[in-house]
């Protein structure tokens, strides 16, 4: 972003108002910034790199699976899918929306100048980068082959790969996540503008707040799980070693206590984005605003009670399994509430189909499929057949990619004009959205069938009769991989050369649309006083000047 | 950094006497818990020890940390942390305590002459 | 209550869950191997553990007095009580170091050299798990104490510069909360690790 030509003050004032991007230049102003907006962009840059890394592993996995006996050795394959999972989950999905869009928007949406602890915000990015360096180092040295779930005793005793390095990477990324969540929680409690009471907050804020709760309650537990694995690996004490009375399932309990709520860390912010986008492009207040807000909190809390549904067949008590299965059915309810409410929002709304809205439509459909297929897995009887198969893989990719990544793209497009002050190319955006949708479905729908037919996951080879479906899936993955690059290109292009827009190109409601695009460093010239309810939408104005 | 100036009106300054009373109670309870452990009360030993520990922890939190005089929000945060910790402990524990309902009981838990080493 | 203290309370909740994971492991293994765990009690020095517990309680008192002194702008008392807390905290850590050394000498460190004397052979493996948890939990606690000692040093330096008074004492209060929390963790560690079996004076 540094330029060599620095316009004089008067020239700059004549050409472009001061905003958070041009107020300072040079690498120090970025690496030592405490401005939440700049930190959001630092994160955006880093997680995009990690997304590309994780995506590269995905392509290699899918290439390998075009052949029943595979292209690479089984050991290599184990490392490929493990690194895909580790990088995507810990370094892309968990931070994604909160650290980028959340960081950027949360203070603005509640009328604040910045987050409660700006320096801790910067620290969180450095923690993330530290973790990412460990992960990249592990990759460079040959990767880890335990699966992203690091199950003992393989990870503790038998694996010859860089488990400790990868675990440390995840550990630091976890602390980055904790500090982000802590910041969000304190900010929402303490820094709302006058008149911004809880029931006037945008649903994006509710979503990120609920996510912050999960981050602070769950992440420390996986931190301990990783520490125990690390110590066990180094000292061979026996805490998870059955030979000396240890129990590998204890690791799974401690691990999944975080990792299940982690999936809600991943999806809740996406749901927040979708609420905002649907409201704007239906020109309507979200149906049942209170219920959507409450369901975010409900998902956050209930999400902590269901971790054992990952362990139905690994040896935990059947009775505990019954309890977990029962509770898992409950956690589907708040998600369903949201889907119904989004649909009801569109009913009798004035719907238009700009690119963010296309992504929102995709989200509703794909997330619903992903969520419903989760019910087959939460039913213990069917889970016995489906656990460890491609059915599970398809399920979580539908919710995480079809849900979360799609929501992330929706949010990036929706708020891109606010972030950089310029508009991207709408035709390219629509094309990319449709291509992503097509590529995604071609990749993962066959995997439901494969799982149902019994193809196990994490296996380097499979029976030849599954090859056709696998090749279809790889074809879809190739399309998807290319399709993901398209937004990266036109959004970057728009950043530098796109047509400039004013504060509110979408005629949206919300405090972020009342300030200039891009915003100034402290967001508001004067702290706003909020007098109207959120989402005070009316019909679009005819000759609106954005 | 923020200041406490606006909070001055409702900052509660603890009385020295209260702090010392709590201190003495904590020391006495430490002695008691060590003393009770010299007797064999079976199952009761753990319950008494944990009960005393909970009492001590509550005193530290309530008085030393000042939870008594904090806002509802802080109290809610404290309770929330404990609730989620107990979810972790209780449900994990329930796995282990109900596992042997479906297979034979573990004789080594109560028979001193058996162990798990080969 | 301002943002700083809410932030510290939120952080303490993360610490509750962090230590909680180890408590969960402890609870599970104690339930599985009650006899092996009880047999390890003869290797724990209850008197030293109890004395150390008392030391930490003293440090909590001095810390509470320090916060109080800041609230009433008595800087000299504040510095005195902070030094007192630092003193007790250091004593705790020194005693812990001696305890660890004793365990090392008695071959009680889990790993290839684990060899407790007079322990029934069938408990050997499971006792190793208890000792692992002992070192892990008290070790993690000690790390938090060391951080606390660092924070106290920072407070003392700032207090010397008259940084704290009745209008601004948030850092003292926050670090006080952290210190008390570390004390609470030890309040639970003591009975769970030292008082598993029965001991005699």
DSSP characters for B70-99?
Answer: S-HHHHHHHHHHHHHHHHHHHHHHHHHHHH
Under the phi-then-psi rule, with left for phi > 0, alpha for psi from -120 to 50, and beta for the rest, what region is A223? alpha
pLDDT of residue A323: 93
Q: Which of residues 45-74 of B touch A (CB under 8 A)?
A: 73
Q: Which residues of B touch A316 (CB under 8 A)?
A: 95, 99
Q: Do both B63 and B93 map to the same domain?
A: no
pLDDT of residue A531: 87
**Counting beta carbons within 10 angstroms of the beta carbon of residue A268, is it exposed (0 to 12), middle (13 to 18) or buried (19 or more)?**
buried
Contact assessment for residue A301 and residue A218, using Cβ atoms and an 8 Å cutoff: no
> How many Å lie between the alpha carbon of C30 and the closest alpha carbon of chain A?
11
Q: Which residue has the tokens 């201190």?
A: B23
> How many Å lie between the alpha carbon of C76 and the closest alpha carbon of chain B?
17
pLDDT of residue B54: 95
Q: Do both B31 and B78 map to the same domain?
A: no
Q: Do both B29 and B52 map to the same domain?
A: yes
Q: Which of residues 75-114 of B touch C (CB under 8 A)?
A: 77-78, 80-82, 84-85, 88-89, 92-93, 96-97, 106, 108-110, 112-114
pLDDT of residue B3: 43
Provide the residue range defining the domain that includes B23: 12-69
Q: Which residue has the tokens 């879809």?
A: A476
Sketch out chain C's domains with CATH numbers: 3-194 (1.20.120.80)
CA distances for C166 relative to B5, B9, C71, angstroms: 8, 11, 4
pLDDT of residue B113: 64
pLDDT of residue A235: 82
pLDDT of residue A268: 96
pLDDT of residue A404: 96
* pLDDT exceeds 60 at position B118: no
pLDDT of residue B106: 55
Q: Which of residues 108-127 of A touch C (CB under 8 A)?
A: 116-117
Q: Do both B16 and B65 map to the same domain?
A: yes
- Interface probe for A, chosen from C1, C23, C129 (most Cβ of A below 10 Å), is C129
Q: Do both B51 and B20 map to the same domain?
A: yes
- Is the Cβ pair A116, C3 closer than 8 Å? yes
Please report, to the nearest 10 degrees, the dihedral formed by the alpha carbons of residues A214, A219, A221, A226 taken in order.
160
Q: Do both B42 and B60 map to the same domain?
A: yes
Alpha helices per DSSP H over A454-500:
467-497
CB atoms within 10 A of CB A201: 20
Does residue B65 belong to any structural domain of this protein? yes
Contact assessment for residue A278 and residue A356, using Cβ atoms and an 8 Å cutoff: no
- Is the Cβ pair C1, B57 closer than 8 Å? no
Q: Do both B53 and B80 map to the same domain?
A: no
Q: For residue A481, which of A450, A438, A451 has the smallest C-alpha distance? A: A438
According to the CATH classification, is domain A33-514 in 3.40.1830.10?
Answer: no
pLDDT of residue A84: 96
Q: Do both B33 and B79 map to the same domain?
A: no
CA A380/CA A313 separation, integer angstroms = 9
pLDDT of residue B116: 52
For residue A429, give the H/E element and its range. Answer: helix A426-453
Q: Do both B16 and B59 map to the same domain?
A: yes
Tokens (6 digits) for A63: 């290439």
Q: Do both B32 and B63 map to the same domain?
A: yes
CA distances for A319 relative to A313, A324, B97, angstroms: 12, 9, 10
pLDDT of residue A536: 84
Tokens (6 digits) for C155: 């407070």
Give the pLDDT band (50/70/90) at residue C197: confident
- Is the Cβ pair B115, C125 closer than 8 Å? yes
Q: Which residues of C touch B82 (CB under 8 A)?
A: 16
> Cα A23 to chain center, whole Å?
30
pLDDT of residue C5: 86
A281 half-sphere exposure, CB direction, 13 A CA radius: 22
Q: Do both B40 and B65 map to the same domain?
A: yes
Q: Hey, is the C-beta of A305 within 8 angstroms of any chain B C-beta? A: yes
Q: What is the pTM of this model?
A: 0.91
CA A63/CA C92 separation, integer angstroms = 58
C157: Cβ contacts below 8 Å, ≥ 6 apart: none
Q: Do both B91 and B47 map to the same domain?
A: no
Q: Hey, is the C-beta of A320 within 8 angstroms of any chain B C-beta? A: yes
CA distances for A528 relative to A17, A89, A395, A519, C42, angstroms: 20, 37, 44, 15, 66
Return the residue of C nearest to B25 by Cα. C57
Beta bridge partners of A389: A456
Give the pLDDT band (50/70/90) at residue C190: very high
Q: For residue A118, which of A46, A45, A179 has the smallest C-alpha distance? A: A179
Q: Hey, is the C-beta of A250 within 8 angstroms of any chain B C-beta? A: yes
Return the residue of A nearest to B2 by Cα. A116
Does residue B4 belong to any structural domain of this protein? no
Each residue of C79-123: pLDDT tens digit?
999 999 999 999 999 999 999 999 888 888 887 778 888 888 888
Phi, psi torsion values for A21, nearest 5 degrees: -85, -40
CA A315/CA C31 separation, integer angstroms = 17
A319: Cβ contacts below 8 Å, ≥ 6 apart: B94, B98, B101
C16: Cβ contacts below 8 Å, ≥ 6 apart: B81, B82, B85
pLDDT of residue A30: 92
- Interface probe for A, chosen from C25, C27, C113, C140 (most Cβ of A below 10 Å), is C25
Return the residue of B nearest to A247 by Cα. B96
- Is the Cβ pair C111, A191 closer than 8 Å? no
Contact assessment for residue A313 and residue A383, using Cβ atoms and an 8 Å cutoff: yes
Does residue B2 belong to any structural domain of this protein? no
- Is the Cβ pair C53, B30 closer than 8 Å? yes
Q: Which residue has the tokens 């398209």?
A: A486
Q: Which of residues 53-72 of B touch C (CB under 8 A)?
A: 53, 56-57, 60-61, 63-65, 70-71
Does residue B35 belong to any structural domain of this protein? yes
Q: SS3 string of chain C?
A: CCHHHHHHHHHHHHHHHHHHHHHHHHHHHHHHCHHHHHHHHHHCCHHHHHHHHHHHHHHHHHHHHHHHHHHCCCHHHHHHHHHHHHHHHHHHHHHHHHHHHHHHHCCCCCCCCCCCCCCCHHHHHHHHHHHHHHHHHHHHHHHHHHHHHHHHHHHHHHHHCCCCECCECHHHHHHHHHHHHHHHHHHHHHHHHHCCCCCCC
DSSP tag of A314: T
- Is the Cβ pair B115, C126 closer than 8 Å? yes
pLDDT of residue B8: 44
For residue A117, the SS3 value is coil
- Is the Cβ pair A245, B116 closer than 8 Å? yes
- Is the Cβ pair C132, A217 closer than 8 Å? no
Does residue B107 belong to any structural domain of this protein? no
Q: Which residue has the tokens 């700083």?
A: C4
Contact assessment for residue C93 and residue C149, using Cβ atoms and an 8 Å cutoff: yes
Q: Which residues of C touch B89 (CB under 8 A)?
A: 20, 23-24, 27
Q: Which residues of B touch A245 (CB under 8 A)?
A: 116-117
Return the residue of B nearest to C181 by Cα. B61
Does residue B118 belong to any structural domain of this protein? no
Contact assessment for residue B34 and residue C195, using Cβ atoms and an 8 Å cutoff: yes
User: How many contacts does B have with C, using Cβ atoms within 8 A?
Assistant: 179
Give every residue of chain A whose pLDDT is below 70, as ranges.
1-15, 543-546
* pLDDT exceeds 50 at position B117: no
CA A535/CA A510 separation, integer angstroms = 7
Contact assessment for residue A186 and residue C7, using Cβ atoms and an 8 Å cutoff: yes
Q: How many domains does chain B have?
A: 2
A259: Cβ contacts below 8 Å, ≥ 6 apart: A149, A222, A307, A310
pLDDT of residue C124: 83
Query: What is the pLDDT averaged over residues C122-133?
Result: 86
C163: Cβ contacts below 8 Å, ≥ 6 apart: C171
Each residue of A7-19: pLDDT tens digit?
445 444 456 788 8
> How many Å lie between the alpha carbon of B53 and the closest alpha carbon of chain A?
22
Q: Is the dihedral of CA A341, A342, A346, A347 positive or negative?
A: negative
CA A182/CA C4 separation, integer angstroms = 11
Give the pLDDT band (50/70/90) at residue B108: low
* pLDDT exceeds 90 at position C139: yes
């Amino acid at each position: 972003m540094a330029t060599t030509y620095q316009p004089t003050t008067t020239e700059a004032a004549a050409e472009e108002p001061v905003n958070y991007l041009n107020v300072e230049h040079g690498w120090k102003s970025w690496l030592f910034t405490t401005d939440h907006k700049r930190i959001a962009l630092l994160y955006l840059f880093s997680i995009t790199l990690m997304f590309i890394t994780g995506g590269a592993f995905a392509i290699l996995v899918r290439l390998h699976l075009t052949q029943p006996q595979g292209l690479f050795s089984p050991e290599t394959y184990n490392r490929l899918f493990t690194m895909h999972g580790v990088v995507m989950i810990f370094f892309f999905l968990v931070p994604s929306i909160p650290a980028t869009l959340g960081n950027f928007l949360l203070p603005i949406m509640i009328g604040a100048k910045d987050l409660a602890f700006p320096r801790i915000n910067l620290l969180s990015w450095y923690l993330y980068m530290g973790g990412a360096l460990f992960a990249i180092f592990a990759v460079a040295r040959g990767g880890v082959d335990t699966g992203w779930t690091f199950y003992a005793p393989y990870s503790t005793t038998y694996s010859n790969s860089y488990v400790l390095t990868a675990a440390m990477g995840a550990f630091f990324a976890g602390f980055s996540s904790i500090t982000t969540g802590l910041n969000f929680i304190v900010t929402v409690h303490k820094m709302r503008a006058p008149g911004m009471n809880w029931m006037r907050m945008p649903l994006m804020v509710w979503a990120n707040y609920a996510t912050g709760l999960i981050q602070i309650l769950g992440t420390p537990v996986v931190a301990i799980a990783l520490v125990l694995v690390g110590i066990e690996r180094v000292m061979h004490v026996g805490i998870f070693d059955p030979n000396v009375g240890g129990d590998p399932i204890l690791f799974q309990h401690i691990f999944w206590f975080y990792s299940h709520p982690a999936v809600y860390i991943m999806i809740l912010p996406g749901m927040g984005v979708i609420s905002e986008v649907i409201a704007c492009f239906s020109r309507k207040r979200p149906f049942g605003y209170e219920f959507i807000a409450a369901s975010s909190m409900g998902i956050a809390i209930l999400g902590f009670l269901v971790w054992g549904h990952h362990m139905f067949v690994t040896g935990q008590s059947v009775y505990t399994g019954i309890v977990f299965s029962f509770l898992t059915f409950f956690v589907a309810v708040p998600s369903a509430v949201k889907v119904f409410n989004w649909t009801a929002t569109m009913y009798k709304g004035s719907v238009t189909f700009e690119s963010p809205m296309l992504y929102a439509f995709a989200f509703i459909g794909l997330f619903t499929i992903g969520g419903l297929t989760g019910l087959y897995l939460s039913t213990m009887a069917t889970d016995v057949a489906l656990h460890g198969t491609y059915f599970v893989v398809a399920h979580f990719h539908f919710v995480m990619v079809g849900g979360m990544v799609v929501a992330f793209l929706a949010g990036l497009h929706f708020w891109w004009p606010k972030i950089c002050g310029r508009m991207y190319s709408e035709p390219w955006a629509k094309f990319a959205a449709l291509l992503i949708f097509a590529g995604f479905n071609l990749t993962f729908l066959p995997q439901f069938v494969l799982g149902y037919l019994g193809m196990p996951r994490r296996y380097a080879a499979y029976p030849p009769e599954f090859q056709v479906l696998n090749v279809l899936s790889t074809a879809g993955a190739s399309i998807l991989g290319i399709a993901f690059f398209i937004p990266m290109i036109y959004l970057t292009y728009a950043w530098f050369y796109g047509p400039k827009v004013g504060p509110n190109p979408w005629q949206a409601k919300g405090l972020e649309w009342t300030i200039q695009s891009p915003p100034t460093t402290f967001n508001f010239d004067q702290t706003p006083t909020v007098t109207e309810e959120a989402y005070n939408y009316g019909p679009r104005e005819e000759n609106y000047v954005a | 950094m923020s200041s406490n100036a606006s909070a001055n009106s409702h900052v509660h300054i603890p009385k020295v006497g209260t702090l010392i009373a709590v201190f003495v109670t904590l020391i006495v309870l430490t002695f008691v818990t060590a003393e009770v452990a010299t007797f064999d009360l079976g199952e009761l030993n753990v319950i008494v020890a944990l009960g005393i520990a909970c009492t001590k922890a509550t005193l530290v939190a309530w008085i030393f940390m000042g939870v008594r005089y904090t806002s509802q929000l802080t109290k809610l945060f404290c309770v929330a942390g404990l609730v989620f910790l107990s979810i972790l402990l209780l449900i994990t524990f329930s796995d282990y305590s109900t596992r042997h309902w479906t297979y034979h009981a573990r004789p080594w838990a109560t028979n001193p002459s058996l162990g798990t080493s080969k | 209550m301002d943002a700083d203290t809410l932030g510290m309370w939120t952080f303490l909740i993360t610490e509750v869950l962090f230590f909680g994971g180890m408590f969960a492991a402890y609870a599970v293994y104690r339930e599985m191997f009650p006899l092996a765990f009880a047999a390890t009690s003869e290797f724990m020095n209850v008197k030293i553990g109890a004395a150390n517990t008392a030391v930490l309680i003293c440090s909590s008192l001095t810390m509470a007095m320090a916060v109080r002194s800041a609230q009433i702008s008595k800087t000299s008392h504040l510095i005195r009580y902070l030094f007192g807390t630092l003193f007790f905290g250091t004593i705790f850590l020194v005693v812990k170091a001696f305890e660890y050394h004793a365990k090392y000498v008695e071959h009680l460190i889990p790993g290839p050299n684990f060899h407790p004397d007079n322990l029934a052979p069938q408990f050997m493996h499971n006792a190793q798990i208890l000792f692992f948890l002992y070192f892990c939990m008290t070790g993690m606690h000690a790390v938090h104490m060391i951080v606390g000692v660092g924070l106290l040093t920072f407070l003392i330096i700032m207090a010397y510069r008259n940084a704290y008074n009745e209008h601004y004492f948030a850092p003292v209060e926050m670090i006080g909360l952290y210190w008390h929390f570390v004390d609470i963790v030890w309040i639970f560690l003591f009975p769970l690790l030292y008082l598993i079996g029965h001991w005699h004076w």
